[in-house]
Each structure stands twice: as structure tokens, then as C-alpha cells.
Amino acid sequence: MSPKGVPEAVIAAVSSEEHPIAPFLRMDRMPHIWCSTCGIGTAVKALVAAFEKLETDLDKVSIVSGIGCTGRVAGYVRLDSFHTTHGRPIPFATGLKLANSELTVIVFSGDGDLSAIGGNHFIHAARRNMDLKVICVNNFIYGMTGGQAAPTTPLTAVTSTTPYGNAEPPFNLCHLAAACGANYVARWTALHVRRLTKAFAEILVKPGFCFVEVITPCSTLYARKNRLGTGLDIMKYYHDNTVIEHGAEPADTDIVFGGPIICGKFVDRDRPTWLEYQDQHLGEVLGDKYYRGKVLQGAGER
Amino acid sequence: MRFWRTPLDADKMKIPRGELHIIVERCKGCEFCVEYCPRDVLEMSDEFNSKGYHPPKAVRPENCVNCDLCEMICPEFAIYCLTVEEEPVPVEGGKTS
Ligand SMILES: Cc1ncc(C[n+]2csc(CCOP(=O)(O)OP(=O)(O)O)c2C)c(N)n1
Ligand code: SF4
Ligand code: SF4
Ligand code: SF4
């Protein structure tokens, strides 16, 4: 079975000895830049597995990333993708979604990108319940630029900018997304490949602002500075210290250095999306004068 | 295992079998596949690839049950498993015809 939206020529060009992920990625760019044991690749694999599971039409999917190690994802997928400026994948994705509301728009970016420089966009997109699928790879650090503290760095964790340990309380991104109004909020680690795939499959078909936080090892910087061992040691840590609690109150899921990691699907609700609000309100007030008025009445193109 | 298919003999319990492929040159030696394979199919090899990493090697390939975990967890897209279409091995002690 070949993935929908992948040209036959591409499938033919991918040799039978190649990995089954090949039709979904730009294999000429492999090996990717990510360090050994970095969890970003595993998160990408889980997303592709979700596409396969749903038999998603890849012509109707677009991926937008910001800048950072995770930001590279946009360049590796064989999809319509945008590698935008630092912190701005959500505004780009919003424009894309509103210009072509049939698209499933995925934002795939790092914790620094989405919650530091891009934090303002993040909270407002969640508040508006903009129809975006936001996947945040959280390695607790700015990976690409050398391991500086991020808004997600747990208290006391060592980074290049906090050599004596971080003294700033971090964001709990799941709590933030939930408090702002996201329709779907979940957290998994790079070890939970099956549940992560399931979560991705759920958000791909769920309307509104959906947020999945993927906790991943950054062995090169975060683990090294905090003497946490290899990436495999971190995966074992996830194995031993993850507590799965579906429906947990997001405020109670803070991540503490050396503490348990609460994972699960925390929020799954059906607030109207931004476009639904607009359509309902402006459709009523403006009728035909509303730019989507005709679309809403099924009268064809606007 | 890429896609599920309806078993031809649904009344007989069978152990699925997989055919393992390792793209040695793309591996970065993280050991995730070795650690998490539920059937201990893999071990780290003493050999190096051209980047200087130790790739895994299949030491018990006949044990592979095509569960795909190695393929899912590999951050490098360097290992995968294909469904063996031949008659799968009957479950030990199971009914055989
Ligand atoms: C406007 C701007 N400011 C700063 C940078 C430098 N910069 C590049 S990536 C990055 C942080 C990336 O961290 P994160 O989003 O957590 O991604 P990771 O690399 O950890 O995956 C920063 C600060 C930039 N590229 N552009
Ligand atoms: S620096 Fe960290 S986040 Fe970046 S590729 Fe390496 S392990 Fe991954
Ligand atoms: S498919 Fe499953 S059983 Fe086979 S090698 Fe991979 S992890 Fe092990
Ligand atoms: S999981 Fe992939 S990169 Fe890691 S050792 Fe196995 S084949 Fe190599």
C-alpha cells in the first residue's frame, strides 16, 4: 500500500532495501543532523506512523517548524513544509490554515521556540482555539545554540547559562496550553512510541488547538551538563519514573528535576474553533457580506 | 510489520514472524533497539560503521515477532522489520493441523 499523496515516481525511486519511512522523508538529506540518542527522530517516526495508521492524504497536510534542532523537522519531511523564523511557526501556520482551511496544519517545534520567543503566539493560538496540531519536543533546553536555559528548564537543572543550577520556575507547557483553552493536551516521552502514535493520530482528526508535548533526551547538552548519563540512561529513567494518569489536572503535572514525569491525555474537549466562532458570529451579523458567507451557504467559492 | 492483514487461519494461533533489516551505515549506536526488543533478537556489534558507531546485529533473528518496536523507537530510521508472508510458526502447544 502506498501513502496517499506521494507521487508514484517517488515510491519507485525508493529502493526496496530502504526503510519504510522513506516515502515520507527526504531521504537524500539523511543521515539527519540530530545527535545519537536524540529523541526528535523517534517523534518524527511516531508522526509518520500516525499518518500510516490514518492513511492520511499527504497532499492535505503541511508541517511548519521554527528554529532549533527540532525545527529541522520541516526540512526533512517530504510534505509541503515551512521552516520559519525563530518562534514564529504558529503565526505562519495560522495564516496557512486560514488561507486553506482544508489543510491539516501541524506545528512541529522545540520548547524554546514555542514557549520562549514564541510564547505569545502559543498562548493566543490556544486561547483562540486555532485549528493547529502543535507538537512540542521538550528537551528542557535550547539544544541548537549550545544548551542555554529555556522557559521549561526545571528548577536546579544545570545549563550553559545556569552553571550553578536554574533558579527560575519553569512553565508547565501542558498546564499553559490547557489554561489558555486548548481542545486537546497530552504529554508522552520518546519511550512511549505507541501511545505517542495514538496521540498523534487523535490530534490529526481533532478540530481546534491540539497540543502534544514529547519529552525527549538531549544527551549532548542537557544530560551531559546534568550528569544524567547516556540517552539510553534517560530512556530508562522515563521507563522507571513515568506515571500515566489520563485526565490528570494539568496544574498537577509539573515536571520537577529528578522527579516523576506525569504522562497521559490530560484534556480532550470540544470548544468551538476560531473559525467556527467567526463563522457563527460574523455569519449571523453580516450574512452574505461575511467573506465566508457564501462558503457557509454552500454557494461555492468565496 | 507494515499493515495488518486478516489472518488466513484465524482459528489457529500463530506467532508472527518478521524479517529484520538494519541499515548499518545510518545507525548512530544509541542501543534503544537492543534494549527494548522484547524478544532479545539484537545485540550491539563490536564492528564499527564508517561514522565510528557500533550498530546492532541480529543474533536471534528467528525470534523476531515483527512487533515493530525497534523500527518505532529508532531515532535514525536505521532498522525496520518486514512481515514474513510464509506460513508462520505455530504457537508451542497450540493446535496444529
Ligand atoms: C530571532 C532569533 N533569536 C535567536 C535565535 C537563536 N536560536 C536558534 S535555535 C534557538 C533555541 C532553540 O531551542 P528549542 O526551541 O528548545 O529547540 P531545540 O534546539 O532544543 O530542539 C535559539 C535561541 C534565532 N535563530 N533567531
Ligand atoms: S543538541 Fe540535543 S536536541 Fe539537539 S540534536 Fe543534539 S541531542 Fe538533540
Ligand atoms: S520487530 Fe520486535 S521482535 Fe523483531 S527485532 Fe524488532 S523489536 Fe525485536
Ligand atoms: S535504535 Fe537505530 S540508531 Fe539506535 S542502535 Fe538501533 S539501529 Fe542504531
pLDDT of amino acid B73: 98
pLDDT of amino acid B6: 67
pLDDT of amino acid A291: 82
Question: Which ligand has the minimum distance to the alpha carbon of residue A117?
Answer: 1
CA distance A128 to A277: 9
Handedness of CA B76, B57, B46, A228 (dihedral sign): positive
Q: Considering only residues A290 and B56, tell me which one the structure prediction assigns the higher pLDDT.
A: B56
CA distance A208 to A275: 9
Domains delineated in chain A: 24-271 (3.40.50.970), 274-302 (no CATH)
pLDDT of amino acid B7: 64
How does the average pLDDT of chain B come out, rounded? 85
pLDDT of amino acid A292: 81
Nearest residue to A37 via CA among A225, A239, A216: A216
Count of domains forming chain B:
1
Cell numbers placing B67? 512487533
CA distance A147 to A157: 11
Q: How confident is the model at residue A274 (pLDDT cuts 50, 70, 90)?
A: very high
pLDDT tens sequence across A9-33: 555 555 446 899 999 999 999 999 9
Q: Tell me the shortest Cα–Cα distance from A71 to chain B, in angstroms.
A: 16
Mean pLDDT confidence for A167-177: 98
How does the average pLDDT of chain A come out, rounded? 94
pLDDT tens sequence across A185-202: 999 999 999 999 999 999
pLDDT of amino acid B8: 66
The domain in which residue B44 lies consists of: 26-82
pLDDT of amino acid B95: 43
Q: How confident is the model at residue B88 (pLDDT cuts 50, 70, 90)?
A: low
Task: Please indicate, yes or no, if residue B91 is contained in any of the structural domains.
Answer: no
Whether B76 has its CB under 8 Å from any CB of chain A: the answer is yes
CB A281 within 8 A of CB A290: no
pLDDT of amino acid B97: 39
Q: How confident is the model at residue A8 (pLDDT cuts 50, 70, 90)?
A: low
Q: Which of B3, B30, B69 lies nearest to residue A36, judging by beta carbons?
A: B30
CA distance A113 to A129: 20
What is residue B77's DSSP assignment? S
pLDDT of amino acid A298: 64
Q: Considering only residues A216 and B8, tell me which one the structure prediction assigns the higher pLDDT.
A: A216
| In the predicted structure, residue A301 carries a pLDDT above the cut 60 | no
List ligand 3's pocket residues with C-beta within 6 A.
B 18, 20, 37-39, 41-42, 64-70, 81
Q: Of A32, A35, A37, A73, which is best to mutate to test ligand 2, by the most ligand atoms within 8 angstroms of its C-beta?
A: A35
Q: Which of A19, A21, A42 lies nearest to residue B73, judging by beta carbons?
A: A42
Task: Please indicate, yes or no, if residue B75 is contained in any of the structural domains.
Answer: yes
pLDDT of amino acid A10: 57
Nearest residue to B57 via CA among B71, B46, B73, B69: B46
Q: Which residue has the cell 493520530?
A: A201
Cis ω before A31 (30° cut-off from 0): yes
Task: Please indicate, yes or no, if residue B18 is contained in any of the structural domains.
Answer: no
Say which CATH number the domain at B65 has.
3.30.70.20
Give this complex's ipTM. Answer: 0.90
| In the predicted structure, residue A286 carries a pLDDT above the cut 70 | yes
